[in-house]
């Protein structure tokens, strides 16, 4: 078996992989149901105060995260690829209608690999424009925060 070539942007990637005890279709549904994102999308005490999504390639999204002191962080973006129950790719490089963002930060790829036994290998990859952006995201707590979110996602997905 051939070994895959290393990613050409490995120095700009952050990756979280977990095996979650939930089928892939339920995880995908959780990711694509905006009215349930407040239950899992942010590490507590943060939450989602508003979410809207047009889940198709070229469709826009807006997720507004709200902090414990009422601060809000809007995250507009665009879906680049949507493969039901398998893969979501989105970016903050564009707002709706392919309008370029002021400062693109990353392209996120969420993969759902159904392991056939009711579990899913869940892989979240954040590819950044620069090494500095990757370092900033890592220092913000990518691994801890996205790990907490994966655990919350799994719990909420079980209710679908």
Per residue in 14-56, pLDDT tens? 999 999 999 999 999 999 999 999 999 999 999 999 999 999 9
3-state secondary structure of 41: coil
Instruction: Provide the mean pLDDT of the chain.
Output: 93
Angstrom distance (rounded) from CA 148 to CA 21: 15
Q: What is the pTM of this model?
A: 0.91
Percent of all residues in the chain with a pLDDT value above 70, rounded to a whole number: 95
| Residue ranges in 15-94 assigned as alpha helix (H) | 24-31
Torsion of CA 55, 60, 112, 116, to 10 degrees: 0
151: which residues sit within 8 A by CB, 6+ positions away? none
């Amino acid at each position: 078996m051939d070994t895959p070539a290393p990613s050409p942007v490995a120095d700009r990637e952050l990756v979280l992989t977990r095996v979650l005890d939930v089928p892939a279709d339920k995880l995908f549904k959780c990711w694509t149901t905006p009215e349930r994102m407040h239950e899992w999308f942010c590490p507590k005490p943060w939450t989602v105060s508003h979410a809207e999504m047009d889940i198709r390639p070229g469709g826009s999204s807006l997720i507004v995260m709200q902090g414990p002191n009422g601060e809000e962080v809007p995250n507009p973006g665009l879906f680049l690829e949507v493969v039901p129950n398998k893969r979501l790719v989105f970016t903050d490089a564009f707002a709706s209608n392919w309008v370029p963002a002021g400062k693109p930060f990353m392209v996120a790829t969420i993969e759902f690999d159904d392991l056939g036994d009711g579990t899913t290998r869940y892989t979240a990859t954040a590819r950044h424009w620069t090494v500095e952006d990757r370092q900033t995201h890592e220092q913000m707590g990518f691994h801890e925060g996205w790990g907490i979110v994966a655990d919350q996602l799994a719990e909420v997905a079980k209710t679908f």
